[in-house]
Amino acid sequence: MSDIHGKKKALGRGLSALLENAETENPQKEISGEYTAEYIAQVRVDQIEPNPFQPRVHFDETELRELAASIQEHGIIQPITIRKIGHNKYQLISGERRLKASVIGGLSQVPAYVRLANDEQMLEMALVENIQREDLNPLEIAISFQRLLDECRIKQEDLSQKVGKDRSTISNYIRLLKLPTEIQVAVRDNLITMGHARAIINVPQERSQLIILKKILEKKSSVREVEEMVRNLGRQKTTASHGASLPDKFEKAKLALHKKFLSKIDFKLNKKGAGAIIIEFKSADDFERIISKFDS
């Protein structure tokens, strides 16, 4: 697969072994005596028509521009899925957001899973067999799981039986796809392990997740060290929230002011003891009501 800069950017050994680049007129690859119903290829964006059954009609422009910038930096990690409907003519099945962002980012072609027919059973077989491979990286497994859930409409409990993994394991893989692109790339390129990624997932803020990733790459941190980083981060937040509690005299003052103004009251204090009293109002009329209380 080629990214926007022309560099070779493989999905990984597993998916590329299953879905190697193929000529559009000779696409089928044999697997265990059967034929897959798809192949992967670079497809021109002007040859792809929208999915008429796409329920989503609104896409946030800011998010699309952010995704476009990410694609320019890292390439498309998860190819879109399209259906071949004629010679050099395709219809989008899934990945409209990625396709739109690619156009914004100036890409003339995108990596795509090209479905030859609406044969979900064939696709399911190929993906399930692919998951059993030993050389897949965690991100490839996560993508395969997500495709089985989305495109083949398999329930997670049924997927668990088909691939021989419990539901919690499947959930842990799929959660990788919620991580920032930089972390997904690090998993894909084997710069960090599944254990590292699972620890980072427990950090709620994306900025903190990326800071931890940087520390891992700089210090070659082990999974245990990352887990300790995450625990320490949680302790710091707990201490900060406890330290934010007000002394009794301020709590009593807050209650008295609330009774007088019938509004939410808050105090902001710094370490030197200086601060501010905040009286909340909901409208211009409410503001006038509060102001009138100062004269009473």
Distance of CA 290 to the CA centre of its chain: 45
Quote the CA–CA distance of 65 and 61 in Å, as a whole number: 6
DSSP string, 28-90: --EETTEE-SEEEEEEEGGGEEPPTT-------HHHHHHHHHHHHHH--SS-EEEEEEETTEE
Quote the CA–CA distance of 60 and 181 in Å, as a whole number: 18
Q: What are phi and psi of 210, to 5 degrees?
A: -70, -35
Q: Which residue is it, tokens 């003519």?
A: 89
Quote the CA–CA distance of 43 and 25 in Å, as a whole number: 13
- Catalytic residue status for 20: no
Which one of 73, 96, 225, 227 is the catalytic residue?
A: 96
Would you name the residues annotated as active-site residues? Answer: 96
